[in-house]
Amino acid sequence: MAVKQQLFGELAKIAQAMASPQRLELLDYLAQAERSVEALSGLAGLSLANTSKHLQVLKQAALVVMRKKGTQRLYYIASDEVVMLINHLRKVAEAQVEEVNHLIESYIIKDERVAPMANEELSEWMELGDTLILDIRPEEEYLQGHIMGAINVPPETMQQKLVQLKSMSKETLIVTYCRGPYCLFAHEAVQALQENGLNARRLQAGFPEWKAAGLPIYSKLDEEI
């Protein structure tokens, strides 16, 4: 077999590993935080056996890595390049597949008063100061890694946090973010903030995309591995 064909064969292995909605969902969870098979099984609604099989496929394609911690086997995303690959897949689908946009329109909240913010714009605001960044993800994901300076407001605590934020200056920009473009946590949070008269916007991407872009983060995982 010619070398070029062998190269395309290796690329095809990665494409085949990703050709499963269940495996794409597992990658989405692992882009947020490392997790055990049991945790992923609960999140994805899959049996332990099926979850383990999917993870082995992803591991063989070098999309995820496994490490041992005591008696646990923990999985995490192999690199930022994997996050970028999924992000490019999403962009191609949105640009080329009409059904994808129909699904997004039926799923994503559309009544935000201000357009979402790109990574570069938030980076500029962070340098200027007077910006409060809210990470609207579960605490487990926040603790393993988050945008530098962000504070954690899990979805179930948002209403309580609103009481504290109402006294903030209207000049302070509040930016929410969560897992990624298809995560509703940040959409719901920014809507609640805007309805309470606060100057709020949503980050268009999520934490994995911010990290993959090489922008400032805090990562507990980097310290442990």
Record the tokens describing residue 19, joined without a space: 């050709």
Which of 221, 177, 175, 180 lies closest to 198, judged by CA?
175
pLDDT under 50: residue ranges of the chain: 224-225
Long-range contacts of 105-113 (CB under 8 A, 24+ apart): 107/182, 107/184, 108/182, 108/184, 108/187, 109/184, 109/187, 109/188, 109/191, 111/191, 112/187, 112/190, 112/191, 112/194, 112/201, 112/202, 113/194
Three-state secondary structure call for residue 172: coil
- How many Cβ atoms are within 10 Å of 32's Cβ, its own excluded? 25
Q: List the beta bridge partners of residue 137.
A: none
- Catalytic residue list: 178
Encode pLDDT of 17-32 as tens digits. 999 999 999 999 999 9
> Which domains occur in the chain, in start order?
3-82 (1.10.10.10), 106-224 (3.40.250.10)
Record the tokens describing residue 125, joined without a space: 């605001």
Alpha-carbon distance values, 193 to 64, 115, 133, 207 (Å): 36, 14, 12, 20
Report the C-alpha gap between 105 and 110 in whole angstroms. Answer: 8
Measured on CA atoms in the order 60, 225, 43, 100, is the torsion positive or negative? negative
The predicted model scores a pTM of: 0.88
Q: What pLDDT score does 166 carry?
A: 85
Give residues with Cβ within 8 angstroms of 138, minimum separation 6.
154
Q: What pLDDT score does 224 carry?
A: 47
Report the C-alpha gap between 42 and 217 in whole angstroms. Answer: 28
Q: What pLDDT score does 225 carry?
A: 40
Which of 119, 114, 158, 152 lies closest to 134, judged by CA?
152
Q: What pLDDT score does 181 carry?
A: 87
